[in-house]
Amino acid sequence: MLRLGEKITIVADAFEQNLPIGQYGYIIAYDRNPDNAFDYVIRIPSLNRNFFVPADDVELESIVLKQEAERVEREALIDFALSTYNEKLFRQVMNGELESVEEEEETKEAMSQADFIKQVNLRAWI
């Protein structure tokens, strides 16, 4: 449940109330009536109006911004992979395997340092 006064973004319009999808607003009240389908009363400053909305129609602004940033990052990686003809990167981004690749690179770096120290010790011994 979202707190009062939190900044939200409208992501849907389930009851076709002509909500301005994509605009921000603030939660000003809870609708505690169990017979009602609405969960919140929100205030849209740009329209100077209040709306009753279900919980599925609104999302925290920070979450929406994070999702948008991830989408833009993914699109940029796809564009980069296509422009550099990097088929491996393209397949990883399209299959959603990008996180596991980053973890593997981190472990390879740790192993490469240990290998480097072994090589230095081997050469120093000779």
Q: What is the pLDDT along the chain (126 residues), one digit of tens a residue?
A: 889 999 999 999 999 999 999 999 999 999 888 888 999 999 999 999 999 999 999 999 999 999 999 999 999 999 998 999 888 888 888 888 765 555 555 555 556 777 877 777 777 765
3-state secondary structure of 30: strand
Pair (44, 83) in one structural domain: no
Show the domain range for 84: 62-95
Residue 67: predicted pLDDT: 93
- Give a yes or no: residue 71 inside a domain: yes
Pair (67, 56) in one structural domain: no
Pair (55, 11) in one structural domain: yes
Residue 87: predicted pLDDT: 87
3-state secondary structure of 59: strand
CATH number of the CATH domain containing 22: 2.30.30.40
- Give a yes or no: residue 83 inside a domain: yes
Cα dist from 6 to 20, 29, 47, whole Å: 18, 11, 18
- Give a yes or no: residue 32 inside a domain: yes
Pair (25, 70) in one structural domain: no
Looking at the structure of the chain, the number of domains it has is 2
3-state secondary structure of 83: helix
Residue 21: predicted pLDDT: 93
Pair (19, 31) in one structural domain: yes
